[in-house]
Structure 1
Amino acid sequence: MSKGSRDRAANARRIVEQQKAADKRRKVTLWTSVVVVVALVVAGFIGYATISKQNSSTTGALVTPSAAVDDGTAFSVGTGAVTVDVYEDFMCPICNHFEQQSGATLKNYLTAGKITLRYHPVSILDRASNGTEYSTRAAGAAAAAAEEGKFTELHDVLYANQPEENSDGLSNAKIIELAKSVGLTSDKFASAVNAGTYKAWATKVTETFSSRGYTGTPTIVINGTQLVGPGDTLPTDALLTQTVDKAAG
């Protein structure tokens, strides 16, 4: 074999060996990637299971207030022919504005026997209370108050003392103190507030709110139709009055 032939043969063997080595590296890289992906998937399942377990443990068992209506999501006042549903968050300043603007109007309709008013306390603003979950705690306190026939009393006093967004909200002790000012003095109420008895219920109300296609508070619904002002704004008291009167016939 000539020197040139030997050189070409050596080069060919070297190329083959390089290809074999490259194939081996690709296989190692591939299997390493597979192992990493599998590990990440397993870790994801473990993490999800852990978080789910923690959330379940934190939220506790679902306790639906016996006083609740509309699939256990609302508290009803009055027995009038026109149904007015109000979805509110106790941390929401626009909800408070609606209460100041139209709360008296709704109460006048109740006195006149024209409406059935259903309040749905949702908790979409827990993120605005520095981790204290004020919206959920306030909704749970409202549920505890409803069980003692004092929903509207606590509802009104919580709005009268509404904390600012992005504050810690009212403490449980402050909620209990305000409740006493409107005649809620039982140990049962205080225990429910401190134990978070209706925390899971508040979550259920919020999930139902979302499943019905609503995204913001306050949401006002009259006989099944959402009422909004021009440009998707808060309806004025005049528009609310006009709509209820029309529905009443």
Structure 2
Amino acid sequence: MSKGTKERAAAKRIVEQQKAAERRRAVTLWTTVAVVAFLLIAGLIGWGVLAGQKNDTANAAVPPGTVDSGTAFAVGDGPVTVDVYEDFMCPICHQFEQQSGATLQQLVAAKKVTVRYHPIAILDDKSNGTRYSTRAAGAVAAAAEEGKFLQYHQVLFDNQPAEGSNGLDSAKLIELGQTAGLGDKFAAAVNDGKYDGWATKVTDESSKRGVVGTPTVLVNGEKLPSPTPDALTSAVG
């Protein structure tokens, strides 16, 4: 091979190498652009969903008759305030109602206490994506709108699904409402999720107040470490 031929071959290789490098740079550039675009779009979608959720919560319908800045339903009119934070999927809440529910009602009947029930949803992640805690809290709010809070509250605990299950669907929540004397208006509210946003708002507010578990029971603002019937009676005085 002549010297000139070798030089031309070397030059050709250099040109090909330069072209290959340009192609690699182009691929890298467009890959980077695509990744950045994807992340930007994903971020905008995520922001939009979050903003939508915040907006839904901010504009959540508040059930009529609520107390304590719209976070609770009051039962009784006694001088001592008892705040009860409950999640309808919480098995310990069920246990609390079985053990201490009657005591609370006796204290109400004796006009010693005003019980403020705060239905919250801290166990939504325990219902396989169905958000049962939120939906149950929204349903009890719909029952309260028709003056059936305590009746439906009791029905929900009597029919409590297991933690970690799908919970009860809307049809079952409506069926249980019928046993408490609730009709079409209640059914429509449950199907529409009318008060689900309110349930989320109440849960957020309870977190700001330091409620980290359920049941949480306070007597005149003081938390009861163990809200047994005797402890309730003693704290009320």
Give the shorter-chain TM-score range.
0.7 to 0.9
Match of 2:222 in 1: 225
Aligned residues of 1:82 and 1:114 also touching (Cα < 8 A) = yes
How big is each residue's C-alpha offset from its partner over 1:184-238, in whole Å with a ceiling of 9 and x where there is no partner?
Answer: 12x1111000000001100000000000011000000110111113xxxxx3221
Match of 1:237 in 2: 229
Match of 1:80 in 2: 78
Equivalent of 2:61 in 52, 60, 63:
63
SS at match of 2:89: coil
Match of 1:201 in 2: 198
Whichever residue aligns with residue 116 of structure 1, its letter is: T
Note the C-alpha offset of 1:147. Answer: 0.7
Match of 2:9 in 1: none
Match of 1:104 in 2: 102
Match of 1:16 in 2: none
In the superposition, relative to structure 1, how do residues 199 and 128 fare at CA in structure 2: closer, same or farther (>3 Å)? Answer: same
**Structure 1 residue runs of 4 or more that deviate by more than 6 Å after TM superposition:** 34-38, 57-60
Question: So what's the TM-score if we normalise by structure 2?
Answer: 0.81
Aligned residues of 2:170 and 2:191 also touching (Cα < 8 A) = yes
Whichever residue aligns with residue 170 of structure 1, its letter is: L
Equivalent of 1:142 in 104, 120, 140:
140
Residues matched between the structures, number: 214
SS at match of 2:66: coil
CA RMSD of aligned residues (A): 2.8
Tell me, in whole angstroms, the C-alpha distance in 1 between the residues paired with 2:139 and 2:222: 28
Aligned residue runs from structure 1 range 42-57, under 5 A:
42-43=40-41, 45-52=43-50, 55=53
In the superposition, relative to structure 1, how do residues 131 and 37 fare at CA in structure 2: closer, same or farther (>3 Å)? Answer: closer
Whichever residue aligns with residue 227 of structure 1, its letter is: L
Aligned residues of 2:143 and 2:149 also touching (Cα < 8 A) = yes
Aligned residues of 1:80 and 1:116 also touching (Cα < 8 A) = yes
Higher alpha-carbon deviation: 169-178 or 158-167 = 169-178
Tell me, in whole angstroms, the C-alpha distance in 2 between the residues paired with 1:49 and 1:90: 30
Structure 2, gaps ≥5 residues long: 1-24
Aligned residues of 1:60 and 1:199 also touching (Cα < 8 A) = no
SS at match of 1:86: strand
Match of 2:126 in 1: 128
Equivalent of 1:210 in 186, 204, 207:
207
Note the C-alpha offset of 1:174. Answer: 1.1
Structure 1, gaps ≥5 residues long: 1-27, 230-234
Note the C-alpha offset of 1:155. Answer: 0.1
